[in-house]
Chains A and B, each alone.
Chain A
Amino acid sequence: MSHEAADQSKAHMGLPLPNGKLALWLFLVTEITFFTALIGVYMLLRNGQPTAATPWPDPKTVHLVEWIGALNTFVLICSSLTVVLCHWCLHEAGKATDPAEQAGLKSKAVMYLGITLALGLVFLGVKAVEYKAKFDHQILPGRIFELKNEADNYRYLVHVRGQLEKIVKPKDDYEKKHYAVKDEALAKCKELLKKIEDGEVSAKRVNETIVGTKKVAKCDTPVRREGESDIDKGILDLDPDAHLAFSIPYGNLWASCYFAMTGFHAIHVLGGLVVFGVYLVLALLGRFGPDCELDIELTGLYWHFVDIVWIFLFPLLYLV
């Protein structure tokens, strides 16, 4: 089959863009829709129901550390820079006439590519650390106690009882070390454990004992029985490091949104890293050069998009 050079006097049809670039932008546009839908879901759920008494969880309650998020943002911005510099080096290498200069620029490009991959891995590593913090504190969708029905209340009582037993009557050295609390708190723990064992106390009351009722943000709307006083300082006020679960209103919804949004973002980051990895392998095999300029530009476009998504996710999840 031959491509005859047909009558070329006609203007060439289509946009002055390579097919790959056009296709990648179309793909990015579908991704824009995807993430906007996710962000829209988050915005809607967040503004939809929480009230003043039971507001959206604040970062401290759910073990979300803002500066770690800011660090991740910085890491991704650096990686965006290095990938664009990689492309720039390849572009210059393509223009260079001196073979030594070309080789130098090529190896610089490979270096930038490697740095990008490394920074991406750092991002995922920091994410993993953040996720571990959530796992450790049971901040997982469907696992956070919200004390909204009898079954949940009962599960909460059982769970806290188990935790209090480890605090008050540790079975081995590990438990002794891991679950130890300050002395003022220990007395309260003992008292609470006895009340739970005697079946005298409701899940809501246990929650209030742990968290204290002066801080409305951490409690469900308290229901006062006759003659009860506010519990000024909860166990967690006396010892903030105590391993005691408490109810987080809308915690499950928060966790659902958080894991869905950062999870999908992380999957997209991983996809980008796989492509960078492939190009690094090609570089090791000596098949990487100025002909890969378009490919790197396209991968870079994808990577910048992933960066832009994080630029929006970071303030939405961590800051506002």
Chain B
Amino acid sequence: MSEQHEEHAGPSFQAYMGVFYALCVCTALSFVVNYFVDHVMGQKLMSASIIMAVAVVKATLVAGIFMHLKFDWGKLYCIILPVCVVTVMMVIILSIDATLAWHASPESAVPMIQQK
């Protein structure tokens, strides 16, 4: 079965090890950033952004190399991409509802008539 579907050699041993080292570095990086930027410098938003960006990089490395997506993307993107779009969209709309909703902030539900 594998002969029929093997169009590529796949990543080499060195590639796997390389990705592994990169992942370790990234993990250490996010841990260090959390300590310095968040706790020492107090810049919560910047540290959160850096940490999440690093997480995305790690996930991409695992998905692309370990999970072979770099080679299989052409066959699988139809399934993976729409779902990611739909779920991210769901979270965004939920956030919109949570921030804009009148139910969450009773004061904004009924306009107060200003007494002059």
Q: Are A77 and B5 in touch, CB under 8 angstroms?
A: no
The majority secondary structure among interface residues of chain B is helix
B51: A residues at CB distance < 8 A: 315, 319-320
Any chain B CB within 8 A of the CB of A18?
yes
Report the nearest B residue to A20, measured CB to CB: B1
Q: Are B66 and A66 in touch, CB under 8 angstroms?
A: no
Q: Are B98 and A81 in touch, CB under 8 angstroms?
A: no
Nearest-Cβ distance from residue B1 to partner chain A, whole angstroms: 6
Q: Are B62 and A73 in touch, CB under 8 angstroms?
A: no
Task: Find B30's partner among A36, A84, A315 (CB 8 Å cutoff).
Answer: A315
A17: B residues at CB distance < 8 A: 5, 72, 75-76
A312: B residues at CB distance < 8 A: 55, 59
Q: Are A81 and B16 in touch, CB under 8 angstroms?
A: yes
Any chain A CB within 8 A of the CB of B114?
no
A294 vs B2: C-alpha distance when bound (angstroms) = 8
Write out, one digit per residue, whether chain A residues 295-320 have a CB within 8 A of any chain B CB (1) or not (0).
Answer: 00100110011011001101100011
Contact surface of B with A, Cβ cutoff 8 Å: 1-2, 5, 7, 10, 13, 16-17, 19-20, 23-24, 27-28, 30-31, 34, 38, 44, 47-48, 51-52, 54-55, 58-59, 62-63, 66-68, 72, 75-76, 79-80, 83-84, 86-88, 90-91, 94-95, 98, 104
Q: Are B38 and A44 in touch, CB under 8 angstroms?
A: no
Write out, one digit per residue, whether chain A residues 117-149 have a CB within 8 A of any chain B CB (1) or not (0).
Answer: 000000000000000000000000000000000
A205 vs B87: C-alpha distance when bound (angstroms) = 45
Any chain B CB within 8 A of the CB of A258?
no
Task: Find A48's partner among B44, B68, B86, B98 (CB 8 Å cutoff).
Answer: B98
Q: Are B75 and A88 in touch, CB under 8 angstroms?
A: no
B76: A residues at CB distance < 8 A: 17, 25
Listed stretches A26-34, A183-191, A195-203, A276-284; interface member:
A26-34
B47: A residues at CB distance < 8 A: 319-320
Task: Find A74's partner among B27, B34, B54, B91 (CB 8 Å cutoff).
Answer: B27
Q: Are A18 and B30 in touch, CB under 8 angstroms?
A: no
A39 vs B90: C-alpha distance when bound (angstroms) = 11
B58: A residues at CB distance < 8 A: 311
